Structure 1
């Protein structure tokens, strides 16, 4: 078994952090949260590292739902 990174979608990140999808999108645009991958297509869905989401929860636990 490999130790490949775990990715979460924008909506999964929003749910974990207790924020809206729009807020997560704004955070990505401003650099507060960096997507590790953008999927192809017109909308280019963003994927985030689960470790990055966990790090935000550790720093800012009051943000969690």
Structure 2
């Protein structure tokens, strides 16, 4: 039996729910940031309401920046 071994690509992209958890913001905030061009998704899934996927590294970087700004 072959088990799935996680690879870097398994965690490279994350969905909006995970972004919300990391940044501690509401889902609507993510949508506003994307619409305003303040947050760029790496991919958008097909369809009018297709989910956005974000690079984990971009979100981690943004979280660190927000934490640094909050501590100033």
What's the CA shift for 1:42? 2.9
| TM-score normalized with structure 2 length | 0.75
1:28 maps onto 2:49 in alignment: no
Q: How many aligned residue pairs are there?
A: 61
- What CA RMSD, in Å, does the superposition of the two structures yield over aligned residues? 1.6
What stretches of structure 1 of length at least 5 have no aligned partner? none
Q: Which has the higher helix share?
A: 2
Q: Distance in 2 between matches of 1:18 and 1:58?
A: 12
What stretches of structure 2 of length at least 5 have no aligned partner? 1-6
